[in-house]
Amino acid sequence: MTPKRSIPDVAVLVFSFLFFPDLVCAQDPGLGLPAPSKNAWSVQMAESFIARNRDSISYPDSKRPERWDYEQGVILEALKQVWKAGGDERYLEYLRRSIDRFVEDDGSIRTYEFTSYNLDNINTGRQVLFLFERTGLLKYRAAAETLRFQLRQHPRTLSGGFWHKKIYPYQMWLDGIYMAEPFYARCSAMFGDTAAFEDIAHQIIEIERRTRDPKTGLLYHGWDESHHQRWADTATGCSPHFWGRAMGWYAMGIVDVLDVFPSNHPKRPALLSVFKRVIDAIAAYQDAESGVWYQVLDQADRKGNYKEASCTAMFVYAIAKGVRMGYLDRSARAIAERGFEGMIDEFVTKDADGLPNLNHVCSVSGLGGNPFRDGSFEYYVGEPQRTNDLKGVGPFILAAVELGK
C-alpha cells in the first residue's frame, strides 16, 4: 500500500506553487450552460441539501458513523456542477470542507479501508482529483494515488472485470461502473496513463456483454462469473431483475467517462454504441403517463412496484448530457424534459420552510451478503424508501443543471 506522507500543509502549498504552477488555482472552464437563477431547481435543491447538512454529509435519522462514502461523492459532484454552471462559490467551499474532513495533511484518508477492495470507496476520489487540479496541494494527489493503487491491486474476474467488493468474489455489478470508472478515467487523463483507457473501456463493455438481455435491451443488476451465488441464473450468472438505479449508475458512469476518454482511442466508438443501446432500452420503459421510471423497470403493472426518484433522475441526467455532448440525437432531449417534469410532479414536495424534499428514493439495494438479498422482485420493492436520500438528491441536481432547470 502507498505509504503515508508527513508533509506539513504549509510546505505542501509552497511545494505546489514551485512545481505545479499551472495547477494552483486553475480556473475551471465551466459547462457552457446558462447560470442558474436562485429559483432554479438545481439551486433550490442544493440550498435544501446544505441547509440540512451544514456541518457534515449525513442522514439525520441514521446512526451510522461518519465515513468516507460514495454518497458524499455523488452529492459533491452535484454541487460542483452547480458551481461550474455559474452558481454560488459557497458550493465550492462546501465541497472542499467536506473532503478535508477526511483527507489528512499527509494525504491519508480517514476511515478509508484499503483492504476491503470496495469499488464504492473510489467514487469520491473524483473530488480529490478536482481539488488537486484546482489547488495543487499534494495531499490531494497523495489521496488520489492511494485510490488509484487500490485499482491496480483490485481483485478481478477471470475475464478482467473488477469485483464489486472483496466480499463479493467474481461478481460485477452495474453500480461499480459509476463508482470506479469516472475516477479511473480522469486520474488516467490527468497523469498521462494512456494505457489505462483500454482497461476502462473493458470494464464498461464487459459488464454489458454479460448482463444485457437480448429481448428488452435492459441490463441485469449483477453478474456472478462463478455462477455459484444463490441469486445467479445457473446458465448466465445474471441476477433475476432489472433494477432501475443499477442501470442509472451505469448510464451516468459511461457519460461521465466519455468526458475524458480520448477522442482517437479505438474503443471510443464501442463505448458510444453501448451508451446509445442503454439509452434506447431505458427510453422504452419510461412511463407514458407520468414520464418517470419504476423501481423494477420492466414490471410497472406488477403489484408493489413503484415510481422511483433516483433512477429517474439518473436517466434524465444521462440523456440530457448525452444530447448536450452530441452522443445522442437532439430529439432525445424531449425524453429528459418529460422525465424532469415527472419528477417535479411525482416526487418533489416542499416543507414548512419552503425547502424542497425529494421523496420515493430507494434507500439501498444489493445482492447476496448477510442478511441474504436474493434479487427477487419482492426484495427490490420491499427495501425502504427514503426522503432526501443523497443517491436521489445528487442526481436530481445534476439533471437540473444539465437541463438548465
**Helices 175-190/196-211 angle, 10° precision:** 170
Residue written as grid cell 443543471: 401
Q: Is 61 helix (H, G, I), strand (E, B) or coil?
A: coil
Q: What's the CA gap between 180 and 70, in Å, rounded?
A: 10
Residue-wise pLDDT tens digits, 386-401:
999 999 999 999 999 9
Specify if 84 maps to a domain: yes
- Is the pLDDT at 233 greater than 70? The verdict is yes
Catalytic-role residue among 69, 105, 120, 175: 175
**Residue 404 banded pLDDT, cuts 50, 70, 90:** very high
Residue 63: how many CB atoms within 10 A of its CB?
A: 5
Residue 64 reports pLDDT greater than 90: no
Asked, for residue 120, whether it belongs to a domain, the answer is no
Amino acid at 111: T
Is residue 161 included in any domain, yes or no?
no
Residue 239: inside a domain, yes or no?
yes
Q: Is residue 156 included in any domain, yes or no?
A: no
Cα separation, 211 vs 223, in Å, equals 6
Q: Please indicate, yes or no, if residue 259 is contained in any of the structural domains.
A: yes
Running DSSP on this structure, what letter comes out for residue 223? Answer: E
Q: What is the pLDDT of residue 54?
A: 87
* CA neighbours closer than 13 Å in the CB half-sphere of residue 188: 23
**pLDDT over 50 (residue 364):** yes
Query: Lowest-pLDDT range, 44-58, 107-121, 217-231, 318-332?
Result: 44-58
pLDDT-derived band at 22, boundaries 50, 70, 90: very low
CATH assignment of the domain containing 306: 1.50.10.10
Q: pLDDT-derived band of residue 15, with 50, 70 and 90 as boundaries? A: very low
∠ Cα 154 261 297 (to 5°): 75
What is the pLDDT confidence band of residue 25, given thresholds at 50, 70 and 90?
Answer: very low
What is the average pLDDT score of the chain? 92
Domain count of the fold of the chain: 1
Catalytic, 175? Answer yes
pLDDT score of 87 more than 70: yes
Q: What percent of the chain has pLDDT over 90?
A: 86
The pLDDT tens digits for 300-353 are: 999 999 999 999 999 999 999 999 999 999 999 999 999 999 999 999 999 999
pLDDT in tens, 159-215: 999 999 999 999 999 999 999 999 999 999 999 999 999 999 999 999 999 999 999
Above 60 in pLDDT, residue 18?
no
Report residue 23: phi and psi, to 5°: -95, -30
Task: Return the pLDDT at 274.
Answer: 98
Residue 30 has pLDDT above 80, yes or no: no
What one-letter code names the amino acid at 64? R
Containing domain of residue 269, as a range?
31-98+193-403
In contact, 169 and 226? CB cutoff 8 Å: yes
229: cell is: 451465488
Average pLDDT of the residues in 79-87:
94
Q: Give the C-alpha separation, 325 to 256, whole Å.
A: 11
Q: What is the largest CA-CA distance in the chain?
A: 63
* Residue 50 forms part of a structural domain: yes
Reported confidence tier of residue 31, pLDDT bands at 50, 70, 90: low
What is the pLDDT averaged over residues 252-264?
Answer: 98
- pLDDT, tens only, 125-162: 999 999 999 999 999 999 999 999 999 999 999 999 99
Q: Is the pLDDT confidence value at 5 over 50?
A: no
Query: Is residue 221 assigned to a domain?
Result: yes
Reported confidence tier of residue 63, pLDDT bands at 50, 70, 90: low
